[in-house]
Structure 1
Amino acid sequence: MYMDRVDFVVVYIDEIHALDSWSFEQNKFKIKTHRAIEDRLSAAEILQSLDDFSLPLVVDTMKNEANPNYRGLPERMCVVLDGEVKYISGIGSYNFNIEEMITYLGKVVNCSY
């Protein structure tokens, strides 16, 4: 839905369940806290290699600039229009409201076209 009118992108930020900090036994991937950009890029490559992953992926800097700007930790859905954040979902993945996001996108797309 809206793929022909909206650009979707995933921003990979800090690893929230890093093996050497707040990890879970059942974590499929054992990723340590990123100490250098190469660590973060390697982790992002794992995400991008998953069979059901098809969106463009960008990686936050080691200064973690995306998180404070978009309140992304642990994960969020945002709508950015003309360089301004217009919508931020609840903290994911349990507090996402997909219907709310779709409704908001519908209003933006219909007003913009």
Structure 2
Amino acid sequence: MNALFRSHASDGMRFLVVYIAEAHARDQWPMGNIISCVNQPITLEQRLENARECQKYCEFEMPMLVDNMDNTFHLTYGSWPFRFYVIQNGKLILKAEPDEETFSYHIDELDQWIDNFCQSRYPTV
């Protein structure tokens, strides 16, 4: 993710991580000690602390926002469990979905989409 963020910094794209509710919290839907390492926060301060730990652990270089305790971002954008979005002028123009079999993303495809999008907005002469 950091490489993708750095490679498009000059394109005027702003990358953000939005930390939402825990998909596999230790106390709700555990999936083993590695995946389910924290409980579902019940206060905003707990969610903020989990977000800080996540940002540190994942070494995210881009800014991180935190969804509120009403889960407004998640409910608006259907971000469970992990999604990539492109929002332009307040409109959702891309909601990347993970592979149906592996539940992972092909970052190179997202990178190519961003390249194509930027070229269509600012064609080189």
Q: Normalised by the size of structure 1, how large is the TM-score? A: 0.86
Bigger CA drift: 82-91 or 28-37?
28-37
SS in 2 for 1:80: strand
Aligned pair partner of 2:61 in 30, 54, 68:
54
- List per-residue Cα deviations over 1:47-106 (Å, max 9, x = no partner): 122263211100001110111222211010111111111001114772423333223212
Query: Is residue 90–residue 97 contact of structure 1 (8 Å, CA) maintained in 2?
Result: no
Bigger CA drift: 46-55 or 56-65?
46-55
SS in 2 for 1:8: coil
Bigger CA drift: 1-10 or 86-95?
86-95
In structure 2, the residue matched to 1:75 is: 82
Deviation at 1:27, TM superposition (A): 1.8
**Compared with structure 1, are the counterparts of its residues 29 and 45 closer, same or farther at alpha carbon in structure 2 (3 Å cutoff)?**
farther
- List per-residue Cα deviations over 1:17-59 (Å, max 9, x = no partner): 1110111223266211111111110100101222632111000
Counterpart code for 2:9? M
Counterpart code for 1:10? V
Query: Is residue 67–residue 73 contact of structure 1 (8 Å, CA) maintained in 2?
Result: yes
More helix by share: 2
In structure 1, the residue matched to 2:105 is: 96
Query: Is residue 89–residue 95 contact of structure 1 (8 Å, CA) maintained in 2?
Result: no
Structure 1 unmatched runs, 5+: none
Identity of aligned residues (%): 26
In structure 1, the residue matched to 2:33 is: 26
Q: CA RMSD in A?
A: 2.0
Structure 2 unmatched runs, 5+: 1-6
SS in 2 for 1:40: helix
SS in 2 for 1:53: coil
Query: Is residue 89–residue 97 contact of structure 1 (8 Å, CA) maintained in 2?
Result: no
In structure 1, the residue matched to 2:3 is: none
CA distance in 1, matches of 2:90, 2:16: 14
Number of equivalent positions: 113
**Compared with structure 1, are the counterparts of its residues 14 and 91 closer, same or farther at alpha carbon in structure 2 (3 Å cutoff)?**
farther
